Structure 1
Amino acid sequence: MGPIKPIVMSLTHAVAPLGLDEWADQIGKAMDAGERLVTLFGRVDSSGPDEEVLTSAVLQSVDGQLGLLRARGRRGSAYACITARHPAAQMLERELWEQTGLTPTGHPWLKPVRFEAERQQHMDEHPFFSVRGQEVHEVGVGPIHASVIEPGHFRFMCHGEQVHHLELQLGYQHRAVEALLLQRPPGALTSLVEAIVGDSSIAYAWAYCAAVEALSGTQVSLRAERVRGIALELERVAMHLVALTGLATDIAFLQGGATYGRLRTAIINATMRVCGSRFGRGWLRPGGVRFGITDALRRDLLDTLAAFSKDMAEVNALMLGARSVQSRFQGVGVVAHKAALEIGMVGLAARASGVTGDVRVSLPGRLYAAHPIASLTEEGGDCWARMRLRMREIDESVRWLNELLRTADADLAGPDLEPLGPLWHDTLCVSVRESHRGTVVQALETGPDGRLLHYKVQDPSLLNWFGLALAVRDNEISDFPICNKSFDLSYCGNDL
């Protein structure tokens, strides 16, 4: 048996749809047994006499395998919510309700996620939670922020300077991405997919390409997979450096802010020398990669990483050794292991609370099976743990890159593109990749003619924003900027 692939694919008629209540109950039982809910979504099916909703849930078993559960119900009907048993489902059930009208009965926090469709004109009616008590007051921040920060509203319920509760209202830049993805041929969506979340262009492009390749039966070469892995790890390094730059700047640790920013420029410029874009756009395409890595570029990357590693070690030592940094980050913004697990946090934010989970390890596919990478965790769950984990993940990515670039038999030169055939009909494919934030999920479903019926996108930020709200509790309101930057979540990744 080969390595577990980061893809689950099934003929839609081969998965018998359950009733909604039975579907929800089976999901709950699977999560009781330790399985992780990767995604949950639905689409409206108007092909029959009654408008129905087809729902899908993807779960990952303890041994790493992905499984699919589907259900069918009339639009506007209700089912017993999963969230009451497993809070990790709360955001996914809210999104399902907003997009399809299916109501999860008993959901404790049923509110719009991004105010889609007709709800867009009623954002000012958001039902904020309120805290009552003598001297309790509210502080509203945003949606318009200073500098180039994306729009989002944060409502703090405070007693003095201490935050009792934070509620986030996003959706201000909802772009109807999933509908846009159905307006072009399925093999020509890369440029749009790369722009869904701009700082995760490679992760999004790879998840999309892998899905289209699976649906067309296209086998990509290991050489192309290696180049894609190099692109993804360069993106991871660069974007972790963005967060470290922000963390250092937010506490006026200027040596860190200036140096991390400079080091990020070195990495994204190296990416640009390979593919012409500092963000890796245009590098990946269905069937493989448009740009390979010649011997000259290989040497250039190795030289860049050697110089980078020396300076990175020095600035990390300064940050970790400074008492001002320690006092500002340690014990601030804590998300306990149990809480992170219960609310379904993913990616670095979860691993900083001791929750293991990394698609590169649990679903390695050919690439990471041939070239393993370590999944790292921290136990503290605070801003300090999230900062340290970013540093360690950068070091591990650099180690992995150096090892692969020095591999004698790793021929990486030249473009490598296999032609795509027609997509299989009546097939659902769910593809996942580990971005610098966590699991990027893309689900593509074809109809009887092989055209796309549905395209579902899920960014890790959707599952982690609630973790940020928990992190701020019982901290001072002035701690919010560093808590926010330590998570480094995407507004547009939530809003889609």
Structure 2
Amino acid sequence: MLTRELAQLGLDEWASACAQALDAGERMVSLFGRPASGQPDAADEVITTAVLLGGDGGLRLLRGRGRRGQSFLSLTARHPAAQMFERELWEQSGLVPEGHPWLKPVRYEGARQQCMAQHPFFKVRGQEVHEVGVGPIHASVIEPGHFRFMCHGEQVHHLEIQLGYQHRGVEALLLRRPPLSLTSLVESIAGDTSIAYAWGYCAAIEALCGAQSSPETDVVRGIALELERVAMHLASLTGLATDIAFLQGGATYGRLRTAVINATMRVCGSRFGRGWLRPGGVRFGITDALRQDLLATLAAFARDIAQVNDLMLSARSVQSRFRGVGAVTRKAAEDIGLVGLPARASGVAVDTRSSLPGRLYTTHPVATLTEDTGDCWARLKLRMREIDESVRWITNVLQSTELSNAAPAPATLGPLWHDTLCVSVREGFRGPVVQALETGPEGRLLHYKVQDPSLLNWFGLALAVRDNEISDFPICNKSFDLSYCGNDL
């Protein structure tokens, strides 16, 4: 979405307009703030932006203006899906959502970095209640995060997740380089989602330049994104099988993932797709030889994954371990604003490839798949089904689309338009990757907002663990398979 003229409401009026939109059933895609600029007396002023998705499938923006420390009526009490957005806005801009039921930092940015030990954890009181703290340093090779379990015996009453240990400063770093040379940095925001981030960034830059990529470029980018989706769902399935000691599944899913990422490497030289996409186009096209290679790889892959999926789903040990564990109801998923696969596993049909299809997914639609039970079993099955759908989609596109033997001609990129805001959304394997780029009077990047779907889904994991045994946490955690670095920007 691209806009050059957007009225700024007063902060209270803006909050009221956001509340009315949410009351009417619109879904909040993002909400963020930035320091006002361009006026000598605006140093303490903040521009707020809400990105909303309506029932008609279109994005719309609401923009407000307030002063640091100013309060507005919190949306969270009536619309819990806004809770993380408001906490981040408060932490980054100083605006206070009055009446927020659980206002605390998201990442401990800036001066708050030295205050993480004073995090106000929720307390469950009782003689037989005990707390179990895990992390931020973990026994396995994973990124830092602290999990505080409040338990009665083995049963978890509440889990609070504290992240923010990495302090990478991604958004600030993105403003220090020329806007056309950010691809390598954007690709590393969340390394397992390189293509989704790169495509969103490229699309935003092209829109800000008034350029449009070719249809063939869109096809190549779509193939790259679906290959990434297949590979990372396979990584999740590998972890789920390994966590319950179902070694046939763990070994086979790992082998199949290697086949997919090696196919990606044969196209672009990187198993994670890095360096494949660039503003204006792609560096590597899909030649006739690569087309045949991909089709043969996917045909062999489809046969093998069908067999291991049947083995996994029919095993009584797998069913016993996953069914009914870590359930999130549809209402809870809607209330807290889950996105991506965890939302769809709870019956919420949200997929921006369908609601915001763009040119590519309009021409080549992808099915929005859901499960109803919202438990680890549903998230397991849905990953299998989404892999099948991505393989079907890639195969259909490769067989039905004419592709040149050379990389598609890139679009011509001029200077970025001045005073323009562009919001880009791409459905990665975890959910919608949101990036908002705004230019100032001279066309220079004024603000770069990044939002990983994990930001909204970590609280869903906390709900999933409630009333389960603490030993169920590893499989609940892996069934969501969220990103630490995607959250800790």
Which bracket does the TM-score occupy, shorter chain normalised?
over 0.9
SS in 1 for 2:107: coil
Residue 73 of structure 1 corresponds to: 66
Aligned to 2:295: 302
Residue 401 of structure 1 corresponds to: 394
Matched, 1:379 2:372: yes
- 1:149 paired residue among 130, 142, 146: 142
SS at structure 2 position matched to 1:18: strand
Range 386-395 or range 419-428, more displaced: 419-428
Query: Residue 54 of structure 1 contacts residue 72 of structure 1 at CA under 8 Å; is this kept in 2?
Result: yes
Question: 1:408 & 1:73 partners in 2: Cα distance?
Answer: 50
The one-letter code sitting in structure 1 at the alignment partner of 2:155 is Q
Matched-pair contact (CA < 8 Å) for 1:292–1:416 = no
SS in 1 for 2:236: helix
Report how far residue 490 of structure 1 moved. 0.1
**Residue 456 of structure 1: SS of its match in structure 2?**
strand
Residue 121 of structure 1: how far off its partner (Å) = 1.1
Structure 1 residue identity aligned to 2:247: L
Q: In structure 2, what is the equivalent of residue 22 of structure 1?
A: 13
Does the CA-based 8 Å contact 1:75-1:101 persist in structure 2?
yes
What is the Cα-based RMSD across aligned positions, in Å? 0.8
Q: Which amino acid in the other structure matches residue 35 of structure 2?
A: V
Alpha-carbon separation, structure 1, partners of 2:403 and 2:353: 19
Q: Name the amino acid aligned to 2:144.
A: P
CA–CA distance in 2 between the matches of 1:295 and 1:206? Answer: 23
Using the TM superposition, give the Cα deviation of residue 25 of structure 1 relative to its aligned residue in structure 2, in angstroms: 1.2
CA distance in 2, matches of 1:415, 1:423: 22
- CA deviations over 1:343-373 (Å, ceiling 9, x no partner): 0000000000000111111111110011111
User: Contact (CA 8 Å) 1:223, 1:412: kept in 2 or not?
Assistant: no
Letter in 2 for 1:283: W
Contact 2:287 2:403 (8 Å CA) reproduced: no
Residue in 2 that maps onto 1:37:
28
Query: What is residue 49 of structure 1 aligned with on the other side?
Result: 41
Secondary structure of 2:9's partner? coil
Secondary structure at the counterpart of residue 151 of structure 2: strand
Task: State the distance in 2 between where 1:246 and 1:79 align.
Answer: 43
Letter in 2 for 1:351: R
Q: CA deviation at 1:155?
A: 0.1
Other-structure match for 2:189: 196
Partner residue of 2:254?
Answer: 261
1:414 shift after superposition? 2.2
Structure 1 stretch 48-57 or stretch 317-326: which is displaced more?
48-57
Distance in 2 (CA, whole Å) between partners of 1:394 and 1:411 is 27
C-alpha separation in 2, matches of 1:107 and 1:229: 40
Residue 175 of structure 2 corresponds to which residue in structure 1?
Answer: 182
Q: 1:243 — aligned with what?
A: 236
Cα deviations across residues 3-23 of structure 1 (Å, max 9, x unaligned)?
xxxxx1111xx2111111111
2:326 aligned with 1:333: yes
Distance of 1:144 and 1:409 partners within structure 2: 50
Q: For 1:285-304, what per-residue CA distance to the aligned partner results, in whole angstroms no more than 9, with x for missing partners? A: 00010000000000000010
1:265-304 residue CA offsets vs partner (Å, 9 max, x unmatched): 0000000000000000000000010000000000000010
The 3-state SS of whatever aligns with 1:24 is: helix
**C-alpha distance 117-408 of structure 1, shift in aligned 2 (>3 A):** closer
In the TM superposition, structure 1's runs of 4+ consecutive aligned residues that sit over 4 Å from their partners are none
Q: Distance in 2 between matches of 1:86 and 1:48?
A: 36
Q: Secondary structure at the match of 1:324?
A: helix
1:413 deviates by 3.9
Give per-residue Cα distances to partners, 1:58-96, cap 9 Å, x unaligned.
100001010000000111111101111100000000000
2:275 paired with 1:282: yes
CA contact (8 A) 2:22 2:28 kept: yes
Measured after TM superposition, the shift of residue 148 of structure 1 is 1.2
Could you tell me how far 1:211 is from its partner in structure 2?
A: 0.4
Aligned position for 1:117 = 110
Is the contact between residue 226 and residue 412 of structure 1 (CA under 8 Å) also seen in structure 2? no
Tell me if structure 2 keeps the 8 A contact 1:295–1:413: no
Structure-2-length-normalised TM-score: 0.99
Distance 2:53 2:40 in 1: 32
Aligned counterpart, 2:451: 458
Is the contact between residue 335 and residue 353 of structure 1 (CA under 8 Å) also seen in structure 2? yes
Q: Residues 483 and 408 of structure 1: is their aligned pair in 2 closer, same or farther, counting only changes over 3 Å? A: closer
Check if 1:159 corresponds to 2:145.
no
Deviations 1:82-125, CA, capped at 9 Å, x for gaps? 11110000000000000000000000110100000011111111
User: Could you say which residue in structure 1 is the equivalent of 2:345?
Assistant: 352
TM-score, normalised via structure 1 length: 0.97
Of residues 143-152 and 350-359 in structure 1, the stretch that sits farther from structure 2 once superposed is 143-152
User: Which amino acid letter does the alignment assign opposite residue 17 of structure 1?
Assistant: Q
Gaps of 5+ in 1: 1-7
122-131 or 413-422: bigger deviation: 413-422
Contact 1:343 1:467 in 2 (8 A): yes
C-alpha deviation, 1:174, in angstroms: 2.1
CA distance in 2, matches of 1:122, 1:242: 35
Following TM superposition, by how much is the alpha carbon of 1:411 offset from its aligned partner in structure 2, in angstroms?
3.9
Q: Which amino acid aligns with 1:134?
A: Q
1:173-207 deviations in Å (ceiling 9; x for gaps): 12010000000011110000000000000000000
Counterpart residue identity of residue 27, structure 2: R
Summarize deviations over 1:189-244 as a string: whole Å, max 9, x none.
00000000000000000000000000001111000000000000000000000100
Pick one of 189, 202, 206 that aligns with 1:213: 206
Indicate if the aligned counterparts of 2:108 and 2:115 stay in contact, CA closer than 8 A: yes
Deviates more, 1:20-29 or 1:135-144: 20-29
CA distance in 2, matches of 1:412, 1:111: 54
SS at match of 1:423: coil
How far did 1:412 drift?
A: 6.3
Task: Report if the CA contact (8 A) 2:285-2:404 is conserved.
Answer: no
Q: Distance in 2 between matches of 1:435 and 1:38?
A: 14
Equivalent residue of 1:357, what SS? coil
* In 1, Cα distance between equivalents of 2:459 and 2:382: 20
Helix, strand or coil at the partner of 1:26: helix
